[in-house]
Structure 1
Amino acid sequence: MVSFKALVTTALALIPSAIAAPADTSALVARQNSPWQWWTEGQGQFSCQQQGGGKYSCNWNGKSGGGMVAGTGWGAGRKTVRYSGQYNPKGPGYLSLYGWTRNPLIEFYIVESWDVLAPGEPWTLRGNYTSDGNNYAFYTAQRVNKPSIEGTRTFTQYFGVKSEAQKTVGSVSGTITTGNHFDFWSSKGYRMGNFEQNMFMVTEAFANGTKLPSGTSTITVS
């Protein structure tokens, strides 16, 4: 999967590593009542701004080894998330709802749009389901001895990925009822843990081999 990530907790503490973040996390910014994730890695041109009211905008042009993640967040768990705006990606990356649980330690994604997914670890298909009128495929992957919200650990990733036929780029909007996803994953034996971190609606872009990311996004979430 992506080789970088950082989280902002509800207590506004900076967590130095999640997926495979390097030591420098100085670009992360947390703002009370509207947690904000903004982080870059490697070379390229990356610019993202939080604009208030759940709105943020990004533009990016990554080089080999470069990438970014940015988004607005709030407390995780069972809730309905709505998003709208413009998302125009080229290359690896995605627009997704993203977060973690503890006990068990799980990193989860609900992937709404993308150009090239290009996962780092192999994905295993666990089933298909519907939520909010959309079809999703449920995949899992394992990361071995990688940075996480609990330090270097081995943990499982869950991915709910909207069908290719239903995902859009350009003008995007949608509703994510998180409990629908969590319940299906659990029915397949992949339960969630404790929601102790914020989750974020993020724009993520990353280089994968010769595939380089570029694009723009302006997203409002509620």
Structure 2
Amino acid sequence: MVSFTALVATALALVPSAVSAPSGVEYSSTHNSLATRQNAPWQWWTEGSGQFSCQQQGGGKYSCSWNGQQGGGMVAGTGWGAGRKTVRYQGQYNPKGPGYLSLYGWTRNPLIEYYIIESWDVLAPGEPWTLRSNFTSGSANYAFYTAQRVNKPSIEGTRTFTQYFSVRSEAEKKVGDVSGTINTADHFDAWSRAGYRLGNFEQNMFFVTEAFANGTKLPSGTSTITVS
């Protein structure tokens, strides 16, 4: 994930399924730690310059629009307890430039940031990715990559840590009308078979829309996603 400096998170109690704030609520920005962000069921934060708007609409649904400038980015999405489970999503996703529609989260011991990327326009990773394996989950094909971030923000403060990425095949990804089912156990098991284990699930995972600038590549677009 890119490094962000502003956050909005509700103080709702955690539950083991996707949760939502009251309908039609759009939160203002305040700064807080990444660890605190991961303990809330709704994330909405931005960095740098650009026009970013995201709103949670109730029932696991959220909508976003963005037009980032150099150094600008945002992440918004719905979260719930991490682990081995099935996550379903549907809606509209219309991106231009760098960013993802993905499930993501963290573990401790080891400290890992993980992504299951379902759709994108331009991947534009911040650090080099190394291909570790290819695997199938249900009827979908994914490539598994790793990357290392050095002295970057994490749920344990500024640390060096590894990122895991499952990336749906280019031929199978969708933009516009999107829908899918993610079985997280398939991904966790595939990563383990390649020699890359996760740690302890102590905080939430989220299904998010993420957009960020990378050099001269700037993000824009809209999304309306319902998660269950």
- Tell me the TM-score normalised to structure 2 length: 0.86
Q: CA deviation at 1:4?
A: 3.2
- Distance change (3 Å), C-alpha of 1:99 and 1:164: same
Q: CA deviation at 1:17?
A: 3.4
Give the one of 182, 188, 196 matched to 2:194. Answer: 188
Give the one of 115, 121, 125 matched to 1:115. Answer: 121
- 1:16: which partner in 2? 33
3-state SS of paired residue (1:212): coil
Q: CA deviation at 1:3?
A: 3.3
- 2:226: which partner in 1? 220
3-state SS of paired residue (1:39): strand
Contact 1:10 1:198 in 2 (8 A): no
Contact 1:10 1:197 in 2 (8 A): no
Aligned equivalents of 1:146 and 1:69: distance in 2?
Answer: 17
Aligned equivalents of 2:59 and 2:34: distance in 1?
Answer: 27
Give the one of 114, 125, 130 matched to 1:124. Answer: 130
3-state SS of paired residue (1:82): strand
Q: Which runs of 4+ in 1 moved over 3 A?
A: 3-12, 28-31
3-state SS of paired residue (1:166): coil
- 1:2: which partner in 2? 2
Q: How many pairs does the alignment contain?
A: 210
Aligned equivalents of 2:161 and 2:39: distance in 1?
Answer: 25
Amino acid at match of 1:2: V
Q: How does 1:127-142 map to 2 (within 5 A)?
A: 127-142=133-148
Aligned equivalents of 1:29 and 1:139: distance in 2?
Answer: 23
Aligned equivalents of 2:68 and 2:137: distance in 1?
Answer: 33
- 1:64: which partner in 2? 70
Contact 1:15 1:149 in 2 (8 A): no
- Distance change (3 Å), C-alpha of 1:123 and 1:170: same
Aligned equivalents of 2:59 and 2:76: distance in 1?
Answer: 15
Aligned equivalents of 1:123 and 1:11: distance in 2?
Answer: 36
3-state SS of paired residue (1:125): strand
Contact 1:48 1:56 in 2 (8 A): yes
Aligned-residue CA RMSD (Å):
2.3
Q: Deviations over 1:44-80 (max 9, x none)?
A: 0000000111000000000111010000010000000
Q: How does 1:146-165 map to 2 (within 5 A)?
A: 146-165=152-171
Aligned equivalents of 1:122 and 1:94: distance in 2?
Answer: 16
Q: CA deviation at 1:163?
A: 0.2
3-state SS of paired residue (1:68): strand
3-state SS of paired residue (2:185): helix
Amino acid at match of 1:129: F
Amino acid at match of 2:3: S
Contact 2:38 2:203 in 1 (8 A): no
Aligned equivalents of 1:43 and 1:186: distance in 2?
Answer: 39
Structure 2 unaligned blocks of 5 or more? 15-30
